[in-house]
Structure 1
Amino acid sequence: MYVLHSLWDTEAFYIWAESSALPLVNQGYSVSSEGIPAHPFSLPGKELKTQISRAFHLNGAKTRALILRIPSGKNGPLPSPWLLREDYISQKPAGLIECAVDVLALAPDLAAKFLLDLPIHPLKGVVYADSMRFWSRLALYSLELVAKEQFVPAVRERYSLWKAVMDETDLERLDRFSKAMPPSCQALRLFPTDKSSPKDLARSFVDGMADSLVRGSLEQLTLLPPKRGRRPRVIPLPQQFLLSLTSKDPTLEASTEEVAAFAKKMNSWISELEPKAVSVPFRTCFRLQAPAEEETWRLSFFLQAKDDRSLMVPAGEVWRTKSDALTLLKKSIKNPQEQLLADLGRAARLFPQLEKSLETARPAELEMETTEAYSFLRQSAPLLEQNGFGVMLPTWWQRPGTRLGVKLQLRDAPRKEGNAGSAFFGLNSVVEYDWQLSLGDYVISREEFAQLSHLKIPLIQIRGEWMELRPQDIEAAIDFFHKNRNHEMTLAEALHLGLNPAGHPLPEAKTTLPVHGFEAEGKIKEMLSALSDPSGHMEQLSSPLDFQGTLRPYQLRGVSWLMYLNRLGLGACLADDMGLGKTIELIAFLLHERETMKGPGPTLLICPMSVAGNWEREIERFAPGLKVLMHHGLGRLSGQDFEKAAEKADVVITTYSLAQRDEEELNAVSWGHIVLDEAQGIKNQSARQTQSIKRLKATQKIALTGTPVENRLSELWSIMDFLNPGYLGSFESFRRDFVLPIERYNNRAHSEALRSLIQPFVLRRLKTDTTVIKDLPEKTEMKVGYNLTPEQASLYAAVVEDMLSRIESSEGMKRRGQILAALTKLKQICNHPALFLQDGSPLEGRSGKLSRLEEMLDEAISVGDRALIFTQFAGMGAMLRHQLQEKLGVEVLFLHGKTSRKQREEMIQRFQQGSSPIFILSLKAGGFGLNLTAANHVFHFDRWWNPAVENQATDRAFRIGQKKNVFVHKFVCAGTLEERIDQMIEQKKALAESVIGTGEAWLTELSDDSLRELLVLRQEAVSNGSDSSDRSDRK
């Protein structure tokens, strides 16, 4: 696991990393060339390049060494708390120590790109330290300032730069950032000689980011008109300054004195834009009043209380004041006339038309023509607000619908012969529409539009109401006339439009004009009505006749919802929380479809390899009438053999990588459904695997996932584009319209628009939902199926054969001892080969059980759940702790027999208070006497074949004080000892205490033949390893 830290130092951004693999055993502390010890946990420069730079695409980053001041303990530098080093948890910092650290040095432009593109959730095995999160948030704040055009050119030393301009509100936010700056951000600045403050550092960073962002945007532009002829040898400093503002090189080539004089003038001009650090209770406010008829507009001046914006003093009253102070509701304004006059002079720099009012002795208002008023509304009003002035605009200006737009009426296109009986049609089918131009609520004809556009006036009055007529809207309307002569759009575009809030534009292929009105008729109206209000149109289904089990009410609603979208011919994403039963909801849906519809076609189920066997078992358990074909492994069918077998099956199960490899064969089958389990497997929209799966054809597509968005909104687009291609537009338009506004600017309007678009197609219920809680039992137990890897299977078979050969010639205590030893070995092998071999070998990819646990925990902690993991092997607990911390990037606690009482209490407190989401406990040390009600998941990683012992462990979470529903997961591998003993326990639960009450001793009494039947490995226990084994040798 890597912990990423970062620093800023006026000219560069530095990244350094700690590694959980360091320091190496007996490594000791190395010493830099300056005699300063190297940080023992920091990643060396070479590995920074290969591991971090490559992972984050930091091409151009250079490595170098820095000297930082780091918290130290009695034995040297301490690891940061994110490194989760158990051997250091109890150590408290004794002070700061100088350490040499290798860093990646990023130029400001690369730093801006890195920080703005930083995933919300880190990559697997990577953790962001608080310094990294701080600079990332401050970079977003810098981008916000640039997006609002709050920047000006400036000079610093011998360099040009673009500097952020901040009003009082912005400076307050910067001050809050500065106060929240983690000390680790200042590790370069904690030396006694450094007098700069966190605020100076934060301001320097914001200016650095602003300069990089603006300079990058203007790279292809020039601020000077091109000149003919030979370039002069010496370019005057003002021209040089303008040229350097769009260049990668900001250096100014002139004498020190000349640059200093120029900088003084520039910075003096810029200082006028900065809000003065004067604490006064009132500010100058401007109120714009629109004329009732086509007369002049009036801009009135006021002094306005900052803490109560309703308290306003008209300028006329200010001028009539004869004393040096003006009192209003116990609020006093000192020298009000001077303040008003000074503010008006400052505002005139931002809105030059104000200078006309300053020609009078007592300015109180400004009269303007319509074009001047429009300039004020569009340009000057935002600038005045950004600089701390109050601005009050007519209410219609902010109201949607006061600009040029379109009103649409959609209807079904004439159906082709033979299609009259179809209920609905595909998303690519064509619908017809009529359109009309509108200004607000008023429809305007093309003739009226032509007259208005010739006026070339941006503000017009229609029937007593003022409307905005933007030049770009006029161009868009003219373009709309040309593009929409056939009056057709796809059903996907129609749904996108009908489910989108009013005021948003049509799909990009049509126009950028906002939609002011929308009506539909026929089947489109019916579909939109059904999607907007599912409860009013969705038939509530009962459990299928052949379903072997009981569906809870919320699960029946899920089945009904799937069937409802199926009848509409639309894709569905079932995104219920882990443990709520997505698997059985889908199985029940498939059963119900076959009971009520003729020939729906086979279902292709694509899932991770780790759960393929579990799907087969769950279908056999809940719907034994469904025919299942497993398309996986070396002996899988191909060609016509596969096609014929698939057509006869109800469900064909395959894996993600095989779906890519066997794309041609899979496409030869007419699928009724394609279902993706763990649909985040296609989150990378550009991956070959994703592209292959999207090319597969089916009547309906379904996605199952507990985490529809893991890191970025682009993952949601990829899933939705699989379900309903084209509905969310192209990836480029989705990125422009939603990803950037939401992820970078946290734009609430765009977020609400996206939610309204996807809501009809995504059903997500959480365990905390009131409609779900009432349907759930307080404790839900479930078996988690998995498969052994080939390595596990080989070791398992060898141990069984060795034991069976030994007990043939043994009896009594010796026989019992051999059986118990073999059972322990088999449990260890099912857990992980490294636990059995005790060789310290790597863990990754060698245990089906561990892979499944990682997947489930990843989903659980992503929604804020917390989990207990019980194992009877302390060695397994240690392995799990290391692996899960590395893989999931969270703190994992481990309580075992050697844990001291003090450490035990600290761990319990950390888990209960939410510091650590995962707690591993050895069954003997943590199986009783603890209160761990913060957990709502309990995983029994290996089984103790005494139900009472397992229940006692489960009751660490399921006990008095537990306010959540508890989900208990018991791992069982089909075809192994685990499955058979689990079946015996289930069959004899009523007699558990008397029959199996002594743990595993009862197994030693079985005959040789019974043991052979119980222990010999069956074929279904084994996965075929990675899908790379599926490339050849197929039937």
Structure 2
Amino acid sequence: MQVLHAIWDGGRLHLWAESSVLPLTVQPRRGRPPKKAKPKTHPFSLSGNVLRELITSIFRDAPSTTVTGTFLLPSTKKGPLPSPWLIRDEDCISVKPESFSAWNIETLAFAPHHALDLLLGLPARAPHGIAFGGTLGFLIEAAIFSLELIAREQFMPEIKGNTAVWKAVISGDDVERVQTLAEAMPPACRAFAPQDDNGSEAAAQSQSQSQPSAPSPRDLIMSFIDSTVDAFVRRSLESTSLLPPRRGRRPAVTPLPQQFLIALSSGDGVLDAPAKSLDAFSDEIGGWLSGLKPSAPDVLFRTCFRLDSPPERSDDLDGDEEGTGNGSGEEGMRKRHVNRDYDVWSVRFFLQATDDPSLLIPAETVWNTRSKTPTFLQRKFENPQEQLLADLGRASRVFPAIEASLEDARPVGFGMSTSQAYAFLRESAPLLEQNGFGVLLPPWWEKPSARIGVKLKVKSQAQEGGIGSGHFNVKSIMSYDWEVAIGDNTLSEEEFAHLAGLKLPLVQVRGEWVELRPEDIDSAINFFEKKERAREITLGEAMRLGLSLGDEGDETGADPQESGRGLPIVGIEAEGWLEEMLSRFSGAGDGGDGNGAKITQITPPKGFNGTLRPYQVKGISWLAYLSGFGFGACLADDMGLGKTVELIAFLLHVREKEAGQEKVLDLDLNIDPTLLICPMSVVGNWQREVERFAPHLRVMIHHGTDRLAGSDFADEVERNDLVISTYSLAHRDEEVLSQVNWQHIVLDEAQNIKNPGAKQTQAIKRLKAGQMIALTGTPVENRLSELWSIMEFLNSGYLGSARSFRTNFAIPIEKYRDKGRAEVLRRIIQPFVLRRMKTDPTIIQDLPEKMELKVYHNLTNEQASLYEAVVDEMLDKIDNSEGIERKGLVLSTLTRLKQICNHPALFLQDGSALPGRSGKLTRTEEMIDEVLAEGDKALIFTQFAGMGAMLRHHLQERFDCEVLFLHGGTSRKQRDEMVRRFQEDGGAPQLFVLSLKAGGFGLNLTAANHVFHFDRWWNPAVENQATDRAFRIGQERNVFVHKFVCIGTLEERIDQMLEDKKELADAIVGAGEAWLTELSTSELKDIFTLSRDAACGGTGDGAGSDL
């Protein structure tokens, strides 16, 4: 594993990396120690060449220089301490640093503009085998902030020494953001140590020194922001001249003002002038720009400007609607809007507390006070009159209209025309805010209703059978009409023409002020000129618009059918069943299920062999409701909440609904089957769960080398309700699968189609069915494109093309943390994604404190071959032995078979690779993936210390996270340290592998809410004792216990024996596994022999490998 770190030294970004394969300690130097100690080479940092290859593999070959930097790092006498992100196979206990020591490290140094490109271009999640350290993550956040400042044009020119630079302007909310960044800065960001001329440490060399000297966090973060802003702006202006074209002969010496403008777009920005001239010019520039500089961050109050609308008048657009005699129609409107540009808008001055913006002191009150330190509303103000005057003078440089009011001795505000008020809203108000002033605008200005838009009226077609009869899907075509609207008010062509004729940017319509942009006027005129107003729209587009509008206007980025109108959609009206459906999905009113939808709950199917919890009934009802429309559904409940059970119950409900309760067992019923596609590792689990909960459902397994094809496949499918196959076969057997008219296609572990370009994903999306269903605990693992791929399978086209989704949602949300776009996306996918979490209060009350779940899985072909060979060999030996020898052979056989069920490498003891060879390990990986994604913690028990070591190493490699491992050789000190770290919150390891004998008792591990019994002890008392490490006093969450059972092997048969005689289990297995030695050879053969369904013909990988 390699961990990338970043440090900003004040002028360049340095990247360096730790490696888990290099030694932790420093080789001692030979000979006499030097008189003046020099920094040693960091023992486990990557060399510059290897580091460059690493950066190129995840980004690109960005221009950089290899340099050797000196870093002050927490250390012991043996060497530097590894960072928390570096995962090694050795058992390391937490060690306190003895000092900050200097270490020489080869780094890649990036100039500011290359640094910004690199930090913004790195993937959101580090590739496998690589981790981003805290310093790198921090500087990525700082780079995003720099980019935001640039996008908002929050920068200004300045002279620094003899150089012209661009400097970030930090004002308003940005002051708090800088402070937040400074407080969050990891200490390692300040670890760069300068060296003296002899290469020895210039600071903190003394071992007794506990903290190195370094620039303050705020100074360092501002150095980074200013440098990256300057580099970006300077590079953007390289081909732009800031000077007008000059005629005539150029002077011998370029004047400083011209040099200044040229230098702002040049590479180095150097000014060539005497120091005295530079100082004078710098003061002049500083005075000129003083109006742009915000107040100091520690100022307790600031000047605030409030814009008030003109008093409401009764002569608005709808005038004589009730026949009051005020006039109506064309003439009335013309009279009412004469000279509206002379409506008086007022700007009033206030002092505003910076820590409480609601505290406003009118300018009149300020002028009337005689004290230099008056108290207003229990706040003391220093020299408020001087501050108000100074601020007004500074504000007049960006808002010249203030100047006239300064002619008054005691200015309190001034009036403006409508045109001036619009200019204030559009131009001056943002500038004032950027310069640290408070601005209060009329509440209507930020509302969508303050702008002209289009209202959409969707007409639902008559639907036989009413709502939910299944005749529609998201691609169904519907008709709609458009109307020009302002807020809730629609306008006729005549009304709009008169408003446009006023040539005013702000007009009052029925009591509300609205903005009339020139481009909106042109678009509306073009709209009215179209003869035919009826258009067509898909149901999915209508839903997307209806669900996304809320109070935000059209935020979807959608462009339904010739929407080149250039106007925002400000409303959508529906009728009939469509109106009812949108109302349900928007969650309006009572009766919601916590996912926004008001769904009528169905009665649990009578053929279900078990009890459904309330939240599971809601899930089935939700699936049934969407099924009625043919809408795809993603059931994304947390692991352990029973997605499998809900799907089985739903399929039973569908069968009972179509067949009728009295005919549900009629095998001659012609009901279209369901296709379930899942990872190979859970094929057997699905088969067992259906047999357990819905024995009336007929199941067919399409997998392995002997699977059916052609007409044989089609004939067999007709005799079954559920066909189970794997992801790899979706592509290979696409032609076979596509010949069936499927009622549903269900994807278990649907994240397997997260790559839209993969052949299996494309093949699955080409299959047709009445409804698509996805089951996944992690609808988004790394990127939003994964969610798009799943939604495209469920409801093709609903989220638009992959390209438009990336533009409208993925980039704004992932790269720029756009909360508004995230909320819009949440609203539009809400109807089709049901996610309940174990921490939801409504779910917790439905769950028992401890849930025990069987996890069934298959053997791989390799495991099956080894298993059969051992059984054949050992049964003959057992049959020909007796007494103690026989008992030993039985126990030996038991151990060897359990090792094979765990993993071939455990049995062979050959140190061979682990991936793809064990069904149990593959299923463990899939479940651990969900545990980590949900932020949970897990204990993994095994009775084999060797298996524990393999699990620890493999899971660390697989998930790039630290895995603790407690075994018989662990010292007490190490054990206590592991327990302490696991029980910690935030940053602590999430996985703890324990040898059953060493960790099955005496430990308090309540931080875990998942317990995995990787292999079985078959002694309930021992297993329960291990489970109680998490399920004990102090546990505040529900505990999920997962017991692995290998299908068709001794694991399943012994588990079944214990279930059949549960009341006698304690007596039978009281001595562990010794009771098995008393069974006859015939009985042992029945237990040990491998059944036909034990192996699925796969290699153990998540998608299977069918030949």
- The structure 2 residue matched to 1:917, chosen from 968, 990, 993, is 990
| AA matched with 1:145 | L
Q: Please give the per-residue CA displacement for 1:2-51, whole angstroms capped at 9, x wherever unaligned.
A: 33322223444333332333339x995899xx985433332344544445
Larger mean Cα displacement after TM superposition, 702-711 or 300-309: 300-309
Name 1:351's counterpart in structure 2. Answer: 399
**What secondary structure is seen at the aligned counterpart in 2 of 1:82?**
coil
**What secondary structure is seen at the aligned counterpart in 1 of 2:85?**
helix
Deviation of 1:912 (Å): 2.6
- The structure 2 residue matched to 1:384, chosen from 432, 438, 448, is 432
Within 5 Å, which residues of 2 pair with 1:605-1004? Answer: 605-914=676-985, 915-1004=988-1077
Whole-Å separation in 2 of the counterparts to 1:555 and 1:626: 19
Q: 1:504 to 1:63 in 2, by over 3 A?
A: farther
**What secondary structure is seen at the aligned counterpart in 1 of 2:843?**
helix
Residue 498 of structure 2 corresponds to residue 425 of structure 1: no
| AA matched with 2:574 | A
Name 1:184's counterpart in structure 2. Answer: 188
Whole-Å separation in 2 of the counterparts to 1:612 and 1:226: 76
Whole-Å separation in 2 of the counterparts to 1:230 and 1:616: 90
Q: Please give the per-residue CA displacement for 1:508-548, whole angstroms capped at 9, x wherever unaligned.
A: 24355344333211332233234335669644333333333
Residue 628 of structure 2 corresponds to residue 567 of structure 1: yes
Deviation of 1:321 (Å): 5.6
- The structure 1 residue matched to 2:136, chosen from 111, 132, 150, is 132
Larger mean Cα displacement after TM superposition, 85-94 or 942-951: 85-94
Q: 1:290 to 1:541 in 2, by over 3 A?
A: closer
Larger mean Cα displacement after TM superposition, 56-65 or 500-509: 56-65
Whole-Å separation in 2 of the counterparts to 1:319 and 1:576: 62
- The structure 2 residue matched to 1:398, chosen from 446, 450, 460, is 446
Deviation of 1:75 (Å): 0.8
| AA matched with 2:518 | P
Deviation of 1:357 (Å): 3.1
Whole-Å separation in 1 of the counterparts to 2:487 and 2:504: 17
Name 2:296's counterpart in structure 1. Answer: 277
Deviation of 1:660 (Å): 3.2
Residue segments in structure 1 that go unaligned for 5+ positions in a row? none
| AA matched with 1:210 | V
Q: 1:424 to 1:881 in 2, by over 3 A?
A: same
Whole-Å separation in 1 of the counterparts to 2:837 and 2:465: 44
**What secondary structure is seen at the aligned counterpart in 1 of 2:622?**
helix
Q: 1:670 to 1:232 in 2, by over 3 A?
A: farther
Say whether the 8 Å CA contact 2:482–2:533 is kept in structure 1.
no
Whole-Å separation in 1 of the counterparts to 2:148 and 2:944: 53
Name 2:145's counterpart in structure 1. Answer: 141
Name 1:495's counterpart in structure 2. Answer: 543
| AA matched with 2:482 | W
Say whether the 8 Å CA contact 1:460–1:468 is kept in structure 2.
yes
- The structure 2 residue matched to 1:524, chosen from 578, 582, 589, is 578
Within 5 Å, which residues of 2 pair with 1:1-40? Answer: 1-23=1-23, 28=27, 37-40=40-43
**What secondary structure is seen at the aligned counterpart in 2 of 1:814?**
helix
Whole-Å separation in 2 of the counterparts to 1:159 and 1:764: 56
Say whether the 8 Å CA contact 1:634–1:1031 is kept in structure 2.
no
Residue 657 of structure 2 corresponds to residue 596 of structure 1: yes
Whole-Å separation in 1 of the counterparts to 2:43 and 2:1098: 38
**What secondary structure is seen at the aligned counterpart in 2 of 1:358?**
helix
Residue 69 of structure 2 corresponds to residue 66 of structure 1: yes
Deviation of 1:443 (Å): 1.9
Q: 1:946 to 1:465 in 2, by over 3 A?
A: closer
Name 1:200's counterpart in structure 2. Answer: 219
**What secondary structure is seen at the aligned counterpart in 2 of 1:616?**
helix
Count of residues in correspondence between the two structures = 1028
Whole-Å separation in 2 of the counterparts to 1:1029 and 1:321: 77
Q: 1:30 to 1:743 in 2, by over 3 A?
A: farther
- The structure 2 residue matched to 1:151, chosen from 140, 143, 155, is 155
Q: 1:39 to 1:845 in 2, by over 3 A?
A: farther
Name 1:251's counterpart in structure 2. Answer: 268
Q: 1:772 to 1:180 in 2, by over 3 A?
A: closer
Residue 370 of structure 2 corresponds to residue 367 of structure 1: no
Say whether the 8 Å CA contact 1:632–1:1030 is kept in structure 2.
no
Q: 1:899 to 1:366 in 2, by over 3 A?
A: same
Say whether the 8 Å CA contact 1:658–1:1027 is kept in structure 2.
no
Larger mean Cα displacement after TM superposition, 643-652 or 439-448: 643-652
**What secondary structure is seen at the aligned counterpart in 2 of 1:376?**
helix
Whole-Å separation in 1 of the counterparts to 2:790 and 2:360: 53
Q: Please give the per-residue CA displacement for 1:866-906, whole angstroms capped at 9, x wherever unaligned.
A: 21111111222222222222322333222222223333233
Q: 1:681 to 1:207 in 2, by over 3 A?
A: farther
Residue segments in structure 2 that go unaligned for 5+ positions in a row? 31-36, 195-200, 204-212, 314-339, 660-669
Q: Please give the per-residue CA displacement for 1:335-359, whole angstroms capped at 9, x wherever unaligned.
A: 4443222211211222133233335
TM-score, reference length from structure 1: 0.90
Name 1:1018's counterpart in structure 2. Answer: 1091
Q: Please give the per-residue CA displacement for 1:881-936, whole angstroms capped at 9, x wherever unaligned.
A: 22222322333222222223333233223223333322222111221222322222
Say whether the 8 Å CA contact 1:161–1:250 is kept in structure 2.
no
Q: 1:768 to 1:781 in 2, by over 3 A?
A: same
Within 5 Å, which residues of 2 pair with 1:183-332? Answer: 183-189=187-193, 192=202, 196-211=215-230, 250-252=267-269, 255=272, 269-270=288-289, 272-277=291-296, 279-292=298-311, 294=340, 295-309=343-357, 311-316=359-364, 318-319=366-367, 324=372, 326-329=374-377, 331-332=379-380
Q: Please give the per-residue CA displacement for 1:63-105, whole angstroms capped at 9, x wherever unaligned.
A: 5543322221121122112224554423211112333334444
Whole-Å separation in 1 of the counterparts to 2:410 and 2:1070: 98
TM-score, reference length from structure 2: 0.85
| AA matched with 2:912 | S
Within 5 Å, which residues of 2 pair with 1:446-595? Answer: 446-478=493-525, 480=527, 485-500=533-548, 501-505=550-554, 507-509=558-560, 510=563, 513-533=567-587, 538-595=599-656
Q: 1:854 to 1:644 in 2, by over 3 A?
A: same
Q: Please give the per-residue CA displacement for 1:101-128, whole angstroms capped at 9, x wherever unaligned.
A: 3444455455445544656654444433
Deviation of 1:471 (Å): 2.7
Larger mean Cα displacement after TM superposition, 796-805 or 366-375: 796-805
Say whether the 8 Å CA contact 1:160–1:250 is kept in structure 2.
no
Deviation of 1:661 (Å): 3.8
| AA matched with 1:152 | M
Whole-Å separation in 2 of the counterparts to 1:281 and 1:407: 46
Identity %: 57
Whole-Å separation in 2 of the counterparts to 1:132 and 1:454: 57
Whole-Å separation in 2 of the counterparts to 1:981 and 1:622: 21
| AA matched with 2:581 | M
**What secondary structure is seen at the aligned counterpart in 2 of 1:76?**
coil
Say whether the 8 Å CA contact 2:983–2:1005 is kept in structure 1.
yes
**What secondary structure is seen at the aligned counterpart in 1 of 2:70?**
strand
Deviation of 1:581 (Å): 0.8
Q: 1:304 to 1:559 in 2, by over 3 A?
A: closer
**What secondary structure is seen at the aligned counterpart in 2 of 1:729?**
coil
Superposed CA RMSD: 3.7
Whole-Å separation in 2 of the counterparts to 1:999 and 1:94: 49
Q: 1:30 to 1:757 in 2, by over 3 A?
A: farther
Name 2:206's counterpart in structure 1. Answer: none
